[in-house]
Amino acid sequence: MQEELKALAQAILEGKRNEAVELTQKLVDAGVTPKQILDEGLIAGMSIAGEKFKNGEYFVPEILVAARAMKASMEILRPLLVATDVQPIGTIVIGTVRGDLHDIGKNLVAMMVEGAGFKVVDLGVDVTADKFIAAAKEHNAQIVGMSALLTTTMTYIPEVIKAFDAEGLRPKVKLIVGGAPVTQEWANQIGADAYAPDAATAVDRCKELLGAA
Amino acid sequence: MTSRERVLCAFHRGTPDRVPVSPQHFGRIPPDSDLAAQLVRETDIMLYAGWACDCFVGSALPRDVETTGNMTRTVYHTPYGDLTRVVTRTPVTSACTEFPCKNADDVLKLLATPYEPPTEQTVQEALRHFFQRKDWLGDEGVVLFELPNALCFPAEWLSPQDFCLLWADAPDVMEEMVRVGNERLLAFVERVLKAGVDMFRIVGGEYASTQLGPVAYDRLVRRPDRELVALMHDYGAIAYFHNHGPIMRYLEAIVDIGVDALDPLEAPPWGDCDMPKAKSILKGRVCIVGNIDDMEVMNQRSTEEVLAIGKKLIEEAGPDGFVLSGTASGTYGEHAARNFIALARYVRSQM
Ligand code: B12
């Protein structure tokens, strides 16, 4: 079945939805565990897609179709994963901060993190500190991701961090930040737990935050 | 040289009497304020005017517009069904929250709808706007007619996500939309060229460069925009190209399009412009306009710092074919305006 798992990863990588669904079903029928199909098929494919994006070989459409193929395969796997009590590796709440409507980058991060086995709660754009906090509590999230693309909106991120501190949610909830104007240096300065310059690295950082890297 | 001659000389890749310092439009400065008047007097300002009169869908497509609360809903009635656009306003900003086309089928509906070019009256209004502004500014700077390229047709009619999926799933439909868009655009541009418009600012390349990648850039930007620029040049007009985001891998394509000038060539973290390298590629071929970030640098840093950055830029990108400018955010404020004036005084002191 090793060949089929590789083929599934390749189908995800190329965004071939029907092929991915067929291969997933075939692997399930052959008795391969849903966890192995998820890890060595779906997640493996998404992870290569993320690397290709980072290297400038893939662009937004390629990531979108890979994520779509993964979602379709997940429809088959999800009930089986639940039945065998396989949990997502973690829960992340993500959003673009107040006043900011840029969401192309944030959506890519959400897709890649989901593709790595996380449960993702996407709050959309123009998200206030209150909303981030409420969602983190409601979904028992380990990680909250904030995106900002503007000089004028990135200054809201430290306010959200303070609000999480004031609520006593840290260090239990880890905060990861990103968006074009955000840098590692600035992330350190404002006391964020992590920063990533792109969606593939965001996956690595989130896993590190869980201690699951 | 007058400001206008100075900027034109740079657009033609020449070496003006001094490097032009050109804020792009008035940003958040009220155009009737003293500060705006000072910008006009002291810098070599570039203003935008005119609009493309909905030339992609034209005047025959019936529509109903309704505003309730913070939402404006436009319903376009095509013979094959309705397409709906919703624009939502928040206290800080406004954005399109529902796009009329959701998939390739909607695009085909739109393209199959009978087309009539913009009416003479709407075109005259846009022209009046352009020429009034041009007369008002005189020799104090240049006025550019604002123009979407053909890629703006899909980019403005599909959400960013559906736009990307259209390219992934139905590239032929995307190419057809751009081809039809370009045909309509060229007809519109010829009308305003005949009326005497002499300078255009073409926007839209970034939809391909930041989202779709180089293959799309070649097919959906380089090819159609070459035709557009050739038409402008046939009438002796200036073709100025605006393209946000990482730009280095697209410079050769932009040279090939034949544009006269390019903005904003953002440096990291917003872009990837390595100015000495960009200059070596563009020298003698495309005038560089940029690239001091409006919001982060011009609007926040001290004048000493901005002057130091400006001097370095002039060394790297000037003195020929270079206009010292911001990053076209449309948002620069009072502090940035004063920094532009300080830069203009500095270049003047160096003559
Ligand atoms: C597309 C775009 C828009 C679109 C957004 C559409 C959408 N649905 O997102 C529209 C037209 C709406 C827009 C509007 C505006 N924009 Co804009 N926009 C851009 C543009 C061209 C591309 C951004 C983009 O999508 N990049 C592609 C994605 C894939 O990259 P990314 O977002 O950086 O994301 C990656 C990483 O940053 C990271 N990442 C992102 N988020 C997160 C989150 C986490 C947790 C992590 C770990 C990582 C991470 O991973 C992503 C994937 O690898 C940039 C130009 C540029 N140079 O960036 C300007 C830019 C960001 N915009 C700018 C401006 C000024 C505006 C406006 C104010 C313009 C105006 N006058 O109205 C408005 C503001 C609206 C608002 N309130 O938000 C400026 C900001 C300048 C500054 N110093 O702040 C830029 C830089 C352009 C410029 N130079 O003027 N914009």
User: Would residue B152 count as lying in a domain?
Assistant: yes
Of A58, A83, A108, which residue is a domain's last? A83
Contact state of A61 with B269 under an 8 Å Cβ cutoff: no
What proportion of chain B, given as a percentage, has pLDDT over 90?
95
- Does the residue B105 lie in any domain? no
Residues A193 and A177: their CA atoms lie apart, in Å, by: 8
Is B153 a member of any domain?
A: yes
ipTM: 0.92
Query: Domain check: are B68 and B36 in the same one?
Result: no
Bond preceding residue B148 cis, omega within 30 of 0: no
B190 and B66 share a domain?
A: no
CATH number at residue A49: 1.10.1240.10
**Tens-level pLDDT at each residue, chain A (213 residues):** 889 999 999 999 999 999 999 999 999 999 999 999 999 999 999 999 999 999 999 999 999 999 999 999 999 999 999 888 888 999 999 999 998 989 999 999 999 999 899 999 999 999 999 999 999 999 999 999 999 999 999 999 999 999 999 999 999 999 999 999 999 999 999 999 999 999 999 999 999 999 854
Regarding whether B169 and B270 lie in a shared domain, the answer is: yes
Residue whose CA is closest, atom 87 of ligand 1? Answer: B329
Dump the DSSP string for B172-184.
Answer: HHHHHHHHHHHHH
d(CA A170, CA B142): 54
My answer on whether A102 and A199 are in the same domain is yes
Say yes or no: B88 and B207 in one domain: no
φ, ψ (nearest 5 deg) of residue A45: -65, -45
For A178-211, write each residue's pLDDT tens digit. Answer: 999 999 999 999 999 999 999 999 999 999 999 8
Residue B93 clears pLDDT 80, i.e. is over it: no
Instruction: Indicate which residue's Cα is closest to atom 31 of ligand 1.
Output: A105
pLDDT digits (tens, 9 = 90+) for B281-301: 999 999 999 999 999 999 999
Query: Of B300, B277, B252, B351, whose CA–CA distance to B21 is shortest?
Result: B351
C-alpha of residue B338 to centroid of ligand 1, in Å? 26
- Residues A77 and A146 grouped into a single domain: no
Judging by DSSP bridges, how do beta strands A143-147 and A174-178 pair with one another?
parallel
Give domain status of residue B31, yes or no. Answer: yes
Q: Are residues A22 and A125 in the same domain?
A: no
Query: Same domain, yes or no, for B294 and B154?
Result: yes
The verdict on whether omega for the bond into residue A171 sits within 30 degrees of 0, i.e. cis, is yes
> In DSSP terms, which residues pair with B95 in a beta bridge?
B88
3-state helix, strand, coil in chain A (%, to 5): 60, 10, 30
Give the residue among A176, A134, A173, A181 at the shortest CA–CA distance from A153. Answer: A181
Residue B94 has a pLDDT of 80
CB contact under 8 A, A152 and B295: yes
What is the best residue among A54, A63, A113, A149 to mutate for testing ligand 1's pocket, by most ligand atoms within 8 Å of CB? A149
pLDDT at residue B89 in the model: 85
Per-residue confidence (pLDDT) for residue A212, from 0 to 100: 56
Q: Which atom of ligand 1 is nearest to the CA of A152?
A: 84
Best residue among B25, B212, B331, B332 to mutate for probing ligand 1's pocket (most ligand atoms within 8 Å of CB) is: B331
Q: What pLDDT sits at residue B92?
A: 67
Kindly state the tokens that stand for A141. Answer: 């999230």
The domain total for chain B is 2
Do residues B231 and B189 touch, judged by C-beta distance below 8 A?
yes
**Is the CB of residue A74 less than 8 Å away from at least one CB of chain B?**
no
Same structural domain for residues A134 and A38? no
The answer to whether residues B198 and B66 belong to one domain is no
Q: In this structure, is residue B303 part of a structural domain?
A: yes
Identify the domain boundary among B100, B128, B150: B100
Find the mean pLDDT for residues B246-270. 97
**In terms of domains, do B73 and B50 share one?**
no
**B290 and B335 fall within a common domain:** yes
Q: Give residue A17 CA to ligand 1 midpoint distance, Å.
A: 29
Residues contacting B279, CB < 8 A, separation 6+: B288, B316, B317, B322
- Please compute the mean of the pLDDT values over residues B123-129 and round it to a whole number: 98
In this prediction, residue A85 carries a pLDDT of 87
Whether residue B90 lies within 8 A of chain A, CB to CB, comes out as yes
Mean pLDDT of B180-185: 98
Pair B185, B149: CB distance under 8 Å: yes
Domain of A192: which CATH number?
3.40.50.280
- On chain A, the residues whose CB falls within 8 A of the CB of B336 are none
By residue range, what is the domain housing residue A61?
2-83
Parent domain of B66: 61-100
Instruction: Give A156-181 pLDDT, tens digit per residue.
Output: 999 999 999 999 999 999 999 999 99
B196 plus B315 within the same structural domain: yes
pLDDT, chain B, mean = 96
